[in-house]
Structure 1
Amino acid sequence: MADQVAWHLSGDYFENCSCSIVCPCLVSAAAPLTARPTEGFCNVPLVFHVESGRYGDVALDGLNVLVILHAPGVMAEGNWSVAAYIDQRADDAQTEALAAIFTGAAGGPMAAFTPLISKNLGVRKVPITFHI
């Protein structure tokens, strides 16, 4: 097993979901991810702006990432589909680094979701603009 590359990120994060009220998967009396989504499924965009960050020796400052999750029912039941979109300004090393971090391959918070994902739709480079 290869050693994990040390990495860190600092920046801004935004998420939303397709439910018609505040996300019941996170805001309910039930355990996290166990409430039924109001629409029967959940589409979740996760948007990240890396103010500063590194993956080993690779600088990630100023780049953006969008991860889209689709859960066909109760999130804790799995069977998710996921797609990752990397800022087109990223070079090859930055693209590889961001893909590893945001698909969970590099460990960290996103790795907690990998057992719930049954369909990985891949990584694609696109223009991403992030404003606050």
Structure 2
Amino acid sequence: MDRAAEYRISGSYYEACNCEAICPCRRQGDIPGGRSTYGDCDFLLSWRIQEGYFEEINLAGLNVSIAGTYNDDVGDDIWSVFIYIDKNATNLQFEALSRIFKGEAGGNLGVTANFSKILGIKPADIRLDHTAGVENISIDSLAAADVVRNYRHNGRVSCGIPGHDHPGQESVSNLSVNDAPLSFSYSERCGFATDFAYWN
């Protein structure tokens, strides 16, 4: 088993998936989330690291994205994912971010506990705009997501995984991924934007 490492990263977060807004996986107030809208969840997640380090390695200014899919009825460790890491990362930064987002570095990045199959870890041109209300993701020619409009709702909404304790803004969003074996495209489904902080 890989040893845990000291790290801390924080910044902005935006995701989109094929559920209907408000995504039923979300926590609404004190009510925990449940099953996805259609029983299968196809998703694209993105992180813009504004501040961060892994041991002595500076990670500020880098982007990470994860595309994947899961089925509600397959069990607990159910996600099949690609991890995309900023092409501008040095070899040391790439390795550090790989360890963090695979869960090998320990800490509170709970999303990695769900990975049953990592399809690949790739350097990519990850272009993120996390400006409120116009968030979007572009990853080479492989994946994209964008906000169509914010979804109006009352009360606090937070994401189940990751960053479940960070409230954010629900949206109606488009998303698509074309990176075999993942292939999906959806219009006007759900999105969610917030901030994040992970550490060990």
* TM-score after normalising by structure 1: 0.83
Residues 17 and 43, structure 2, Cα contact 8 Å, conserved in 1: yes
Q: Aligned partners of 1:2 and 1:123: how far apart in 2?
A: 17
The sequence identity of aligned pairs, in percent, is: 34
Residues 103 and 113, structure 2, Cα contact 8 Å, conserved in 1: no
Q: 1:102 to 1:75 in 2, by over 3 A?
A: farther
Would you tell me which structure has more strand in proportion to its own residues? 2
Deviation digits for residues 36-71 of structure 1, max 9, x if unmatched?
321221122220011111001111111000012311
The gaps in structure 1 that reach 5 residues or longer are none
- The higher relative CO (CA closer than 8 Å, separation ≥ 6) is in 2
Which residue does the alignment assign to 2:128?
130
How many aligned residue pairs are there? 129
Residues 2 and 104, structure 2, Cα contact 8 Å, conserved in 1: no
> Offset at 1:117?
2.4
Q: 1:48 to 1:115 in 2, by over 3 A?
A: closer
Q: Aligned partners of 1:38 and 1:117: how far apart in 2?
A: 20
Which residue does the alignment assign to 1:79?
78
Q: Aligned partners of 1:2 and 1:45: how far apart in 2?
A: 27
Q: 1:3 to 1:27 in 2, by over 3 A?
A: closer
Q: 1:76 to 1:108 in 2, by over 3 A?
A: farther
Which residue does the alignment assign to 1:98?
97
Q: Match for 1:16: what amino acid?
A: A
The gaps in structure 2 that reach 5 residues or longer are 132-200
Q: Match for 2:121: what amino acid?
A: V
